[in-house]
Every structure is written in C-alpha cells, then in structure tokens.
Amino acid sequence: MPSWLSKWLRPNRTLLDPIQAHMTFGQTSVARTVRRTGLFLKKQLWVWPIFAVILLSIAGYVVSTSINSTIKNSLQSELSTLLNVERAMLEKWFKVQELRTLTLANDQQVRKTVIQMLAMDKNSLRSASKSDPSMNSGPSVAELGEQLREELEASMSSLDFVGFIVADKQQRIIAAQTNELVGQTFPQFEPFLSKTLEGEPTVSTPFPSVVMLKDRTGRLRSETPTMFVCAPIRDDNLQIVAALAMRIRPEKEFTEILQLGRLGQTGETYAVNSQGMMVSNSRFDEQLILLGVLPDHAGSASILNVQVRDPGGDLSDGFRPKVRRAELPLTEICVKALSGTSGVSVEGYRNYRGAIAVGAWTWLPKYQFGLITEIHSSEAFRPLAILNWSFYCLYALLVISAIAIFGFTVMVTRLQREAQIAAIEAKQLGQYRLETRLGAGAMGVVYKGHHAMLRRPTAIKMLQADNLNEAAIGRFEREVQITSKLNHPNSIAIYDFGRTPEGVFYYAMEFLDGIDLQSLVGNYGPQSEGRVIHILKQVCGSLYEAHSMGLVHRDIKPANIMLNRRGGESDVVKVLDFGLVKALDERDSSQNAGVSGTPLYMSPESIQTPDAVDGRSDLYALGAVGYFLLTGQTVFQARTLSELCQQHITAVPELPSQRLGRPVSPGLEDALMACLEKNRAKRPQTARALSKMLESIEITDHWTSDEAEAWWGRHERKVSKALPSADIPTSTPTTSSSGFDQTIGER
C-alpha cells in the first residue's frame, strides 16, 4: 500500500492509546483498506501494465530530451573549442611570420639598400627595370636590386620564404625576386600593401599569383596560389618609406594548420575569403574531383578553385544541381562567416558537398578571411542515434519484463504480506512478545515488547514491509552487526537479531525511557557547564571504544544521544544509531561512498573528502553537540545547505561566551573550540584525550549525582518516551526550519 494512503487512513489516536494497543491488525481501518485495495487490484490487473507503459514513456521522453540537449551542448562546445584552437594557432603563426618579416625590414643593410634605391631617379628606375643601367657613379638600381636579393637570400631559405617584393609608397615594385614585377603596380597587392604602408605588419589572404610560379607539384604555371607577409621599412627618421613583402606557400604551413582541425571521418576546417572562395585545401579534394567540382588533372586542388556554395542536395548520393555552380547560393554557414560574426550551428545545414552538416564559424577582420569547422550531422549525432535505438529496444524489453514481473511479484508479495500481517497481528516475533508501537521511521517500525521467558523490557525494531529490498535489508543487517560489537555502557546494547519464517527482519535492543539531547535543549534550554561536561565525557567513552575498533560513527548529533536512568543512576548517556558507521579499512564501498551525516554537525573533511574521515570527525561533531548544549544554538546557521557546508569548511565559530553574552569556563570553551578546529591535526587526537581535557576543567557548578537525581525527579514524567534509533521520528521542535538537522547519506 502506498505510504501516502496509509498516512491518510491512519487512525487519529496517539501511539500509546490503550484501546488501539489491544486491537489486532485485522480490526483496524488500515487493514480493511488494504483488503479493499487488494480486491480492486486483483480485478483490475490491467491498470498496472498501462501505468508502467505511461511511466516508461514519460521517462523515455525526459531521458531522450536530456540526452539530445546534452549531446548538442557537448557538440557545440567541441566545435567552438576546435575552431578557437585553430584560430589561435593561425594567429600565432601569422604573428611569428610578421615578426620575422619585420626583423628583415629593420635589418640595417636592407634598409640602407632600399633607401638608396628609392633615392634613384625615376628614369633610372625604369632603366633598371629594363636591365639598362644609366647611372654615372655608384651602383645602379639593378645592381642594388641584386644586392638586396643576396642580402635576403640566406634569411629566405632559413625562414621558409620563397620570394619577396619591395614596394614604394605608391605601391610600385622597386625590387623583387622576379625581375618582371619591377616597376609595376598590381591591384592584387593593394589590400596588404596599403595596410603595411600605414604602419601595420600583416599577412595576405591566399590569392592567384600575377606571374608564372611553381605549384605544389613543381610545375610552372600562372595563377598559382600564393600569399605574402608584409612589414614596413622605415628610414633613419622612422618614417615609412617602403614595404617589404615575403612570399610563402599557402599549401604548406597555412593549409597544414587548418587540416589539423578534423573531427572524425567527415570533419574539416577550412578558410574562405570575402567572396566565399576557399583559400585553403579541403581534405576531400579527391572526392571533389570524382564529383566533378574540381577538374581532373594533376595538382588539382580546392584552394582558390572551389566556392563554398550549396548544391541543394548531397552530391555523394548522386544529386546534381540543375544550374551552374556559379549560380548556386553560398552555404548558410559561409554567409554567416562573411557577415563578420562568430557562432555555432548544430541545427543542420547543407555544406559545399550538399551533405547535412553542423559547424562553427568565425571571421578574422585583420586578415579578411573566415574560418569554418564542420562535420556531417549523421556522424556528429551518431551516439544519440545509437542511444535512441538502444533505449527503444530496452523500452520494449522493460515493458514485457514489467508485465511478467508484475504478475509474479503480485502473487509473491500478496502471500508474503499476508504472512507478515498475521505475525504482527499475533503480536509475536520469534521469542518476543509485542506490546506497544513506539514509532516508525524511513527504515522500520519500533515496538516495545519483552522476551517471552526473560520478561525483560525490550525495544524491537523491524523493517517495514514496504522496505523489504536488498539495500534496506543490507543496511538493516549492517547496523545491528556493527552496533552489537560495541560493549561500552554508554553505547546502546543489542540483545538479538533475526528473521521470522514470514520474512520479517527485526532486532531487539535495550529499552530506553529517557530523552535525547535535541529534546533536552528544545524543552529545557541551554544546560549548565557541569552537566555539559558530564554528558560529553560519557559520549567520549562510547566513541573511544568504537574508534579503537576502527569504526567511525559519522552521525554524532543531539538526536542520536539519549539521557536515561539506568541501574539506579541518573543522566546515563546512550549513543544511538550506528547505521552510518564507517570502518576505517573500507574504501569506496557502495554502502559508504559519498557524503554522510547531518549537515549541522558535519566536519570539514566529511564534506570535502568523505572517504577519508576518521575518529577526529566524530570529535568535531561532538564539539558541535557540546556547543549546542551549552548555548542552545548550533555552531553555524545558514539559509542554504551549500552555505552551511561552506561555513563548516571556512568560517571561524563564534566563541560560546560571545554567543551567550556571559563568561564561560575557559577550559570548557577551549575544549569545544579545539574540537571545532578546521584542521583535524589541531583537534584532540582521540576521544580519551578529549575526555581528559574535560576532566581537567575547573568549574564551580559541578554536576553531581544528587543534582542529576533531583532533575530527573522533577522532570521524569515530561521526558519523551523511548527512541531506540534515530530512524524513529520525534515531535520535538528542531533548531533549523531548513531541514539541516536531517541525516543525509545512506537513509
């Protein structure tokens, strides 16, 4: 039966109502409702498969949407990162080339030679261009040009330059590696020469050569792709008088850098100029030749031969446009790049080969070209397609399995529940007779009872029928096994553990009729220094035994420490709830991984490195408990859980005396603040060491056995009834309305 239904139908009687205590389970309204619900489900079994299919459909939609969004975000990030890396590499390479050329332009001998050439008469310059010297004295322009070639030759070979030009302020070539350029001006040189003559070194976009040059195959031909790195030449007055441009082969480092930007089998990075023309080689040149986009001859390449146009269909699937390529529109991503913006598109568009692609683009305004990184959409989203296919198969299997398992589970659960209900109605669990239900928590329900033969009052905790799964049973067994190892008089004692033939898991422990520290402070306010010391010393005894056995409690808090009358003594402490105990030799176990504890009392290391906690973490929590007992307030208050955790890690606690506004025994204050040290090396290293610190404190209001007896004599009727485990809820007001006093971890 759903928990919300049982709460709604719970009788409005107190837990200790004598009438209810004598009613059998079968006589309650809850039992009658269970029977009616069972009859309905027996007749309407078709509801469950439909309910399962609806839930799986919702889960499938949510998961599919989430995965799709995650993959898109990841793809956007990957494309953007790759493009940014490519851009950074290119800009770095451009900067290096500019610095190299600038170094050559500032060379003293080069400057001297260029200035001499500029000083020649224009007629002499024309004569020099015709290799007809006419100077009466000194070297001719042609001789100076030859001298300049010799001066630059060594540097050109070492810096991988393959030619040069020197242009005056009118952009006329006065010297060049190729004499046929001398004395002329070329519109193709204007974009980079004009920028350089204004004082800014630059690198040109690849463009067709104006003279015959060797291509990448070594064949001499016109319109060979070329590019220049240009730097200004200054005279002795630092005035720009000319520009030095060094020629480089774009198919070498420029294209090689871009071809590093590949994703998978279909991804590539390429550059386009302001007309949408590729100014780098595509990785698919061979395919472009087969598709007819490139001419089929030796050395055919996409650089300066392919405009990035949308053919309207996938060319690799046999599609052929009905118009000439020059009439096709530029691709969507190329248009975006030419607009001077940067961005990423994962919605899909057609690339220059007609395939649906996703990509990123950017524009380099200084160099006047764009960069595009793209990959076929089918490859980019292949993981999503595989996940969707896997999910649909799994979905079908789950639907079939859910229907089959449901039928089997209904039968088994019905029989098991009937047996468990019968056992509870009989008020008998093995050798134990159940009397009064004390409470219920997330894990189980607790009854007061007694052993059939010993007649000793006992608290019996059993698993809720709804919690009978492997994880719950494992935690239940682990809690009792660990607690049963502890023999200290201040640790709760375990008497028995078992499982009835009906499948009810239970364990029996000593019955406590005291009050937990949370309720103590909530009902009676801050406690005296003597009583605080008296309580903390007893907790130290329990913790010392646990720590000596290699166990860390991990959930020391006021609600897990009870004051009782035991053996004729008053104010006897019992430490409860060892369900979160961690063995120091355990590492990364499924039961103990992650953060565990109560946020108001967690040590810094239990938040930052929960797998590395030791006994000193319990001492931090115990210091926080002592602080709470003494002041009536927790060490830190916060509005959010993250803020509270950050305070535990970094904030310095306010002294108890400052919080109370009155003096506090220095010894007690020092002991509490020592426990609350952020660095566990500065805390007391053992519970026994802390106990000795507490024993040595000199105070005037010692808590004596007579005072304890008197207090219990006054308040015994008001204290809460037995709470043998923190799994059992109390009605006592807590100190935090935000729920920070609730345990997190293995609950």
User: d(Cα 133, Cα 84) in Å, to the nearest integer?
Assistant: 53
Report which DSSP code applies to 305. Answer: T
- Region 665-669: mean pLDDT is 93
Most confident of 32-46, 103-117, 482-496: 103-117
106-248 domain in CATH 1.10.10.10?
no
Listed in order, strand segments (DSSP E) in 379-516 are 428-429, 432-440, 444-451, 457-463, 494-499, 505-510, 515-516
Written as six digits, the tokens of 457 are: 């009052």
Q: How many CB atoms lie within 10 A of CB 85?
A: 14
Q: How many CB atoms lie within 10 A of CB 695?
A: 11
Which CATH code fits 513-715?
Answer: 1.10.510.10
User: d(Cα 663, Cα 31) in Å, to the nearest integer?
Assistant: 58
Would you say residue 324 has pLDDT above 50?
yes
Q: Is residue 82 within 8 Å of 360, Cβ to Cβ?
A: yes
Written as six digits, the tokens of 167 are: 């242009």
- Say how far residue 542 (Cα) sits from the centre of its chain: 39
Look at residue 509 in the predicted model and tell me its pLDDT.
85
Q: How many helices (H) and strands (E) does the chain have?
A: 23, 23
Query: Any idea where the domains of the chain sit in the sequence?
Result: 106-248, 259-380, 513-715
Look at residue 138 in the predicted model and tell me its pLDDT.
61
- Say how far residue 482 (Cα) sits from the centre of its chain: 35
User: d(Cα 337, Cα 269) in Å, to the nearest integer?
Assistant: 13
User: d(Cα 710, Cα 695) in Å, to the nearest integer?
Assistant: 23
Q: How many CB atoms lie within 10 A of CB 452?
A: 11
Average pLDDT of the chain, as a whole number: 81
Q: How confident is the model at residue 37 (pLDDT cuts 50, 70, 90)?
A: low
Task: Indicate if the alpha-carbon torsion angle 376, 379, 380, 386 is positive or negative.
Answer: positive
Q: Is residue 280 within 8 Å of 273, Cβ to Cβ?
A: no
357 pairs with which residues across the strands? 349, 376
Do 259-380 and 513-715 agree at the fold level? no
User: d(Cα 376, Cα 268) in Å, to the nearest integer?
Assistant: 10
Query: Residue length, the chain?
Result: 747
Would you say residue 596 has pLDDT above 80?
no
**Amino acid identity, position 708:** A
Would you say residue 732 has pLDDT above 50?
no
Most confident of 30-34, 156-160, 183-187, 697-701: 183-187
Q: How confident is the model at residue 485 (pLDDT cuts 50, 70, 90)?
A: confident
Written as six digits, the tokens of 39 are: 């009859």
Written as six digits, the tokens of 664 are: 């506090």
Written as six digits, the tokens of 612 are: 């590395």
3-state secondary structure of 88: helix
Contacts of 401 (CB under 8 A, 6+ apart): none
Report which DSSP code applies to 491. Answer: B
- Region 599-624: mean pLDDT is 91
| 259-380 topology per CATH | Beta-Lactamase (3.30.450)
Would you say residue 738 has pLDDT above 60?
no
Look at residue 453 in the predicted model and tell me its pLDDT.
81
Taking phi first (over 0 means left), then psi (-120 to 50 degrees means alpha), and beta for anything else, what does residue 505 get?
beta
Listed in order, strand segments (DSSP E) in 548-641 are 551-552, 561-566, 569-575, 582-583
Most confident of 110-124, 566-580, 607-621: 607-621
> Which element (helix H / strand E) includes 641?
helix 641-650
Q: How confident is the model at residue 735 (pLDDT cuts 50, 70, 90)?
A: very low
Would you say residue 261 has pLDDT above 50?
yes
Would you say residue 207 has pLDDT above 90?
yes
User: d(Cα 269, Cα 263) in Å, to the nearest integer?
Assistant: 9
Catalytic residues: 555
Q: What is the pLDDT of residues 114-160, one digit of tens each?
A: 998 888 745 454 454 444 544 445 677 788 888 888 888 888 888 88
Residue 625 phi/psi, 5-degree rounding, is -65, -45
Three-state secondary structure string covering 368-412: CEEEEEEEEHHHHCHHHHHHHHHHHHHHHHHHHHHHHHHHHHHHH
CA nearest 702: which of 535, 534, 539, 541? 534
Taking phi first (over 0 means left), then psi (-120 to 50 degrees means alpha), and beta for anything else, what does residue 70 get?
alpha
To the question of pTM greater than 0.75 for the whole model, the response is no
3-state secondary structure of 132: coil
**Amino acid identity, position 382:** R
